[in-house]
Amino acid sequence: MTKRVPVSLWLLVALVGFTSVSHAEETEGGRKKSATPTAFGSLTGRIVIAGERPEQERLAIPATQKDLDDNEYKLDSFEHYRSLGLKDESLLVSPDGGLKNVVVWISDKKVPIPPTPPVRRLPAPASLKFENGLFQPRMLAFEAWRTLEIVNADKYATNTHWLSLGDEGFNDLLEVKASRQFQLQAQALPTRVRSDIYPWAQAWLFPVAHPYFAVTHADGKFHIDRLPLGDWEFRAWHEKFGYLKTKEWPNGPFTQKIEAGRTDLGTIRFELPPTEKPQPAEAARLEDLRKTRIKHNEKGNASEFAGTWKMKLPAGFEYDVKLNQCDNGLLELTSTHGALLLLGDFACIGSELRLVKPRHERIDDYIWEYQDGRFVLTRDEQAHGGNYRLATLTRVQ
């Protein structure tokens, strides 16, 4: 004989079940969950070097060093790193042309930024390691809310020197097997971290305000997942070339519509500038390079940059400088502080000022790139070994 369940008990069970289901639908992990799942998209592609693949060169590590009294001496660490046969990792290209370490990200300021997680669980921290005389990875992009950890996994001590595009930075000594953690502010561009003890050792840090970015792998492929739907501005940046300008992206930044599902850009071919291939700065090459820049100088948009600017060096020093347009269309960068090494005549090509005639000897090349209302020094090649990359020019009048 089947027992009958009182109606009141059925109502109680139904009420409890309804409450549980409703709660499960409304919240998940303490956050509201929409009844209709939010649609996302993804962006994939492959960036390759068109034409001949450049060879990876061996790093020039000196056998001796000089002290402040000009005395020459040997260092065991330098001898060790010389024996490893380290190679330059600033331009890594796969056998079939894939370009590694290009960072691709949404640069649109209107993109919705997810809230910072209340509990910073994995994958934190972002890790940069110094090992075998080099920093790895060469390009480290991560969400700015994550902690950055720098680890010295080598057999010699080193320092880590980072200069941001803002006012923050650090320069810390890392003993053997030591580590340090930092909290960095989001940056508009990748910024360099280097060792002053071992000047060939450097990498790039890119703390991003959102999760919509990727770095190309060894084969040149990239994949950005869970992108919000809509039309967004993207940028692709490489340490050797700045913003990549291709047939598909003639101006560098590009707008891409993201729809639900996968958007595949296919293969994007990047042409190496014919007169600016990474190689030792020889006098003949520099002369040809500067003649080419004069030939392609765009006089039309140079006049808008004429005026007074504030130059800020990575070390924090500031100087008043002027940009004056010459009859041949070049822009002359001058200052009452005549010892500045960044002065000279520049060709205005697109959004860049490219050095034509330096004011000081032993200057190989400088390129200023116009970004978000100011110029940033994106290329810095000097025979004297200085480092002014990421210096800025901000308009005064």
For residue 382, give the 3-state DSSP assignment.
Answer: strand
Q: What pTM was computed for the model?
A: 0.65
Quick one: which of 290, 170, 302, 190 has its CA closest to 240? Answer: 190
What sign results for the dihedral spanned by CA atoms 172, 175, 147, 39? positive
pLDDT of residue 298: 77
Helices (H), the chain: 7-26, 76-83, 283-295
- β-strand partners of 179: 151
Quick one: which of 65, 94, 66 has its CA closest to 81? Answer: 65
Quick one: which of 141, 136, 127, 118 has its CA closest to 210? Answer: 141
Domains with residue ranges and CATH for the chain: 41-271 (2.60.40.420), 283-395 (2.40.128)
| C-alpha span between 107 and 234 (Å, rounded) | 5
Quick one: which of 13, 33, 91 has its CA closest to 59? Answer: 91
DSSP 8-state assignment for residue 26: H
Instruction: Write down the residue that tokens 């990549």 correspond to.
Output: 244
With vertex at residue 314, the alpha carbon angle to CA 325 and CA 367, rounded to the nearest 5 degrees, is 40
Tokens encoding 159: 């320092």
Tokens encoding 1: 């004989």
Quick one: which of 190, 195, 194, 201 has its CA closest to 89? Answer: 201
pLDDT of residue 386: 53
Tokens encoding 44: 């994939």
Residue 105's contacts (CB-CB under 8 Å, 6 or more residues apart) are 141, 206, 208, 212, 213, 214, 224, 234, 235
pLDDT of residue 360: 78
| C-alpha span between 230 and 209 (Å, rounded) | 19
CB 279 within 8 A of CB 273: no
CB 301 within 8 A of CB 329: no
CB 365 within 8 A of CB 355: yes
Average pLDDT, 10 consecutive residues per value, the chain (397 residues):
47 40 39 52 96 88 70 83 94 96 96 79 84 97 95 95 77 94 92 89 95 97 96 94 89 92 96 58 74 82 84 81 89 83 88 87 82 82 62 86
Burial of 54 (0-12, 13-18, 19+ CB in 10 A): middle
CB 341 within 8 A of CB 388: yes
| C-alpha span between 164 and 171 (Å, rounded) | 12
Pair type for strands 72-73 and 392-395: unpaired
CB 158 within 8 A of CB 151: no
| C-alpha span between 237 and 139 (Å, rounded) | 11
pLDDT of residue 18: 38
CB 229 within 8 A of CB 256: no
Instruction: Write down the residue that tokens 């994550």 correspond to.
Output: 146
Pair type for strands 363-371 and 374-382: antiparallel
Pair type for strands 41-50 and 261-271: parallel
With b for 16 or more beta-carbon neighbours within 10 A and e for fewer, the 211-230 pattern comes to bbbbbbeebbbbebeebbee
CB 356 within 8 A of CB 369: no
pLDDT of residue 87: 95
